[in-house]
Amino acid sequence: MDARKTEHLENELDAFAHWYVTPDPSYAGHFLTLTLFAEFPDTVRVARNMTAAFLRGAGVDDVVDDARLVVSELVGNVVNHAVPDRCLALPSSARRVDVTFKMWPKWLFIGVADEDSTPPVLPVGEAFSPGLMGELSEAVLPDTGRGLLIVQRLAVAVWWTPGDQGGKTVWCRFDLDGETTDRPD
């Protein structure tokens, strides 16, 4: 394994270790969790605006636009597609959406949790050759998965985790130090 791939693997493992730990207030990180409700007409806008406010307050203006778009897509997916698990659905209740931000000096983790255990369908690879994309009309692009494709293009990593009591969280990571955004060949 060459040095660049080894360094990339070390950075990925370091990032995973920071994502996995429970935030400790004594660390040099910034943490925020928002609870929103899918039935509120401005849920996506509120999530997008709170994302910008949190990131600007934490001093990471360079990822604000990308993070806002990612949060819009992930929260929009919950609003438009999530159906609560039977054990989490209550009559006459709103669908809960939790948006979590965990920021360390080198990484920003964003998680959007919902009450639907159905795994997201993360796009794998390109639907078409990049050389053909310029000539194809939008009509032949897939009808679903565009939002997650946008998330995959903007974030360094995208994954999901099942909830302990049901539901799931879709996570993504942005690298803030500028050194780990290059993926090995």
Give the pLDDT confidence score for residue 182 in this predicted structure: 45
Residue 64 vs residues 150, 154, 162: alpha-carbon distances, Å: 15, 11, 27
Short-list 118, 168, 121, 114, CA closest to 145: 121
pLDDT at 30: 85
CA angle 19, 116, 142 (to 5 degrees): 90
Residue-averaged pLDDT of the chain:
81
Output helix, strand, coil percentages for the chain, rounded to the nearest 5.
40, 20, 40
Extract the residue ranges of the chain whose pLDDT is less than 50: 139, 179-185
pTM recorded for the entire structure: 0.77
Give the C-alpha separation, 105 to 7, whole Å. 18
Task: State the pLDDT at residue 145.
Answer: 65
Q: What are phi and psi of 168, to 5 degrees?
A: -155, 165
Closest to 12 (Cα-Cα) out of 175, 176, 137, 133: 175
Q: What is the DSSP secondary structure assignment for residue 91, as one 8-state letter?
A: T
Per DSSP, the residues of 75-88 read HHHHHHH----TTT
Residues 6 or more apart whose CB falls under 8 angstroms from that of 138 comprise none
Residues with Cβ < 8 Å from 22, sequence gap 6 or more?
none
User: Is 131 buried (19+), middle (13-18) or exposed (0-12) by CB count in 10 A?
Assistant: exposed
The CB density around residue 4, as the number of other CB atoms within 10 Å, is 12
pLDDT in tens, 115-162: 999 998 877 655 555 555 555 555 455 556 688 989 999 999 999 999
